[in-house]
Amino acid sequence: MKRAKARAGTSPNPSFAPLNGISYIAKIGVKKDKDGKYPDQNVLTHIVTPDEKEWQMVMSGQAPAPASAAPGAMPGPTLFAI
């Protein structure tokens, strides 16, 4: 709620305008708060480039299996095409 109010009177940074509409493939992870004070946060862990095997999988419509984690551990990154 506070973030939404803070952003209400702002406009997007014009230096990011050339990036609008760009698609990319990324690995996304979850950062857990060690103290339990804050909610989990999604984090961009890696941009997948065309020379990586995951690139071809995603581009051909195959979804790589998400990394599994032990109970209570931080889940591994998940691939997303954005």
List, for residues 11-66, the tens digit of each pLDDT value. 666 677 787 888 888 888 888 888 888 898 988 888 999 999 888 888 888 877 66
| Polymer length of the chain | 82
Tell me, yes or no, whether 78 lies in a domain: yes
Tell me, yes or no, whether 63 lies in a domain: yes
- Higher-scoring residue by pLDDT: 40, 2: 40
Query: pTM of the full predicted structure?
Result: 0.51
Quote the domain boundaries for residue 70.
42-82
Q: pLDDT value at position 69?
A: 52
How many domains does one find in the chain? 1
Tell me, yes or no, whether 74 lies in a domain: yes
Q: pLDDT value at position 70?
A: 46
Alpha carbon separation from 7 to 1, 42, 47, 69 (Å, rounded): 10, 20, 27, 35
Tell me, yes or no, whether 46 lies in a domain: yes
For residues 65 and 17, is the Cβ–Cβ distance under 8 A? no
Residues 6+ apart with CB under 8 A from 41: 30, 31, 33
For residues 26 and 44, is the Cβ–Cβ distance under 8 A? yes
